[in-house]
Structure 1
């Protein structure tokens, strides 16, 4: 049975078969592109709702540690990715002085390239993830909310927290079809200098992408197996058995680094 372009559009948010008007796009397609591009830009520059996240975490019985990278403005964040991968001196001293007990798992919530994604999805995902980790008897120690964060900042926080595994929830680079995509990056034995190949990533977590329940299943499986096998990254493949979505990535793309 032949399929039409209309059928294809029902299966994907990608821009297919837009047609043309003379040498350009039809007005509707051009306006839709302009709208989605504006939404993506707005997501990058959105305010990180630290107070709201802290309040929502309190509802889960969690009091997070608040830390910052060496970034001092959103402009710095976009121009100097390296600064977003390092804690500022005050945050480093605070973590070192807290005397945090070593733990199997630490969780870091960072703004990344889409604070919008984190504001909307991070705590909702944790509501699904924490019971799964508890069922596997995996204790979550430190929970940090990190401003001006790139993915690698989670490794430094995890190392200072004495965590065997760190789960970094962070906003991914907004796309034209998904300005609010959340990613989860997992590192075993976190430390400064880990490469992307030493992390696992579960990406595309948002309303039209990977759902919270499926994402929690995949993340909890990777945490449990990563701790058991003492590794993450290209040596750890997702065998969680989730069938509702494509497999989680082994190693990372660079969408939020």
Structure 2
């Protein structure tokens, strides 16, 4: 049975040991790197299924590592950092990180985020989504070829903007998307004045696909950062 390979990039020995012990209990394979140079080399030679990355490394900033890795590889990257400001999260996610966990963190939450990243990675490897494919998540079905959306078997009538929003979220299921990323994908530009419009369209989209929009099941809000489609 294949055991996923995890690359842990962390310069704090105590945190490294904690993560290593955690991965041992789940029988994951792993390799550790204590600086950016080692991380970039291991990202090529070890070919990990997921990278767990600290941002505050001794030789380079973790965001720079994300940019470099994203130049040739779409391996899921989970940031685990002491930086807790929204701007730090947005910068890392905009650079291409898939998730962001703030220190101190719960081991159970780290494992949950890791499982989500692995599921998403396997799904993308199994079948790359194209415009002719069918997307299914819980009760949501998107027929990209027909441009139709169904909820629990019933067709949902969306505006063009709502449809674009849903498709962007669906094609990045499990990944936190920043406001700027969504604005660029849907509107083609990133203007601060467009953010309120994004919130309005997101609210109308939720009313059409969520049974209880005030307690959403599918589209999760990350306050000050963006949104995430949850895999059901």
Same fold at TM > 0.5 = no
Which of the pair has the greater relative contact order for Cα pairs under 8 Å at 6+ separation?
A: 1
**TM bracket, shorter-chain basis:** 0.3 to 0.5
TM-score (norm 1): 0.31
The structure with more radius of gyration: 1
TM-score (norm 2): 0.33
